[in-house]
Copies of this chain bind each other. A is one copy, B any other.
Amino acid sequence: MLVTSRWVIGAVALLAVSSARTQGVVTQRILSVAAARVIAEAALAECVSRGFRTSVAVVDRSGNLLVVLRHELAHPVTVEMARSKAYTAVVFRDSTIEFQRDTASDATRLPQRDVAGILALGGGVPIYSAGEIIGGVASSGSSQTTDDECARAGAAKGASLLE
């Protein structure tokens, strides 16, 4: 991803000299489980309110699971599908509906679907905080459009916690 030039210049110097001024530790903002739960619950509630039995997964900025909620009548595979969608949204930094479109229309991006853990099905969206992606949320078990809306409902619910 493109970063500010200040940061980049520092990094280059750092690579060149490996001096005592090397920045050994970097600070990173991560999604809390508390916010992840709010997001997951809102996403599941949205789908249930529309009459669907779905699974929801929330992952952190590395793509690791924070929260899973599976409706007892949703198929177990929906957990893995939701997890993959949330992971995809984090890795490719866009909703999976956009990822699906982009990889379908651009032949050079199509092989991105072959990366392990990636799934090009709508229903996953990134979670932002202060303009930065700090996680992803995804729904699985309804249609791709509805899953996308449920995930967005979850992300929206969490937004106020992540400012």
Binding site for B on A (CB under 8 A): 1-5, 8, 11-12, 14-16, 18, 20, 22-38, 41, 44-45, 48-53, 60, 62-73, 75-77, 79-81, 90-91, 100, 104, 107-109, 111-117, 119-122, 129, 134, 141-142, 144, 158, 160-163
Distance (Å) between the CB of A30 and the closest chain B CB?
5
Neighbouring B residues of A22 by C-beta, 8 Å: 32, 34-35, 38, 161
Given contacts A24-B31, A34-B23, A100-B108, contact A12 B45 (CB under 8 A): yes
Give complex CA distance A36, B24 in Å. Answer: 8
Asked if residues B69 and A45 are in contact (CB atoms below 8 Å), the reply is: no
Give complex CA distance A27, B36 in Å. Answer: 15
Distance (Å) between the CB of A19 and the closest chain B CB?
10
Give complex CA distance A29, B52 in Å. Answer: 19
Asked if residues A81 and B28 are in contact (CB atoms below 8 Å), the reply is: no
Closest to A99 in B: B111
Give complex CA distance A134, B20 in Å. Answer: 19
